[in-house]
Structure 1
């Protein structure tokens, strides 16, 4: 099982998301979770990718301020169609409107990731940050199918109203990304790069 090197501080996932928690668990590293308390409202004139990157950094920084010398993971996701941000629907009616708007169309999901190293005194040096894009094309399905899907899975806490790790895969036509877990909310390829840069070792071997 992969393990931290003895001198690596504890690892904290700055999120209450069950999806991100499950994904991080795949790495086999011991970790804790803490919920960041920040305002996630997009700023006026802010681009979708800038919103995702800012919020990922703010989430990690907020938890790091309470955690001390720890590695803190912050992540945020913003979906966009024609440059317009698509947030979490919150309820059935909003989710149906989202899916109606996106059917037959390609949606860009910006999944931003920040790893904050609490051992660093300089905040600029503490944060590794990256935006991973995923292009998702939705099937052109009738209202009845979209409505039925929503009533079964109720993905009202997911940007874009579809859980690709669940039944939502049936309403998607294609997914293109360099990081296959990015769409679910935590890009593990990017994260393992960052952890290696921070000195975390995998497979019982020290990184070169």
Structure 2
């Protein structure tokens, strides 16, 4: 799932015409709301109830930060090419709506809609997040070939890590470097090995 967040001072939409045969019947055909968090949402293949829980957590996190008074879930198929089937997408969006437990509106799935939006323009007014399960770390196609040569658990992998650190050293030219220290003075490069939620496994490095 991918969500584009817009904190809007004003947002409105009007349902126009059916875009797909399997479009859901609209619960609301128009909406006009102020100070709302608009969540342009793309449901992807493989999204399930666990993804919904993570999405709820992310939405509520942003909602709390921007102090919006409501949430608008707006189906938006243009953030990914890996789209879920319409029937699945509708089910996921319904579950997302019912799980939020805050004032929430949901635009109907499968319809052409006219909308207008006015973004507040503060630093957190435009955000995007890809929602993935923690255990699902994407492996690039190149990694399959790297593994044939002993990556990532080999001396060669250590060499690649050192090469990457060397590249960063040459780029940023730190005064000196340390490992696993977060609170460092300006000009010091700290190398910290972390697993990042939703991260991508880089070929021959991780």
What TM-score comes out, normalization by structure 1 length? 0.25
Structure whose residues are more often helix by fraction: 1
Which structure has the larger Rg?
A: 2
Higher RCO (CA 8 Å, separation ≥ 6 residues): 2
Structure whose residues are more often strand by fraction: 2
What TM-score comes out, normalization by structure 2 length? 0.25
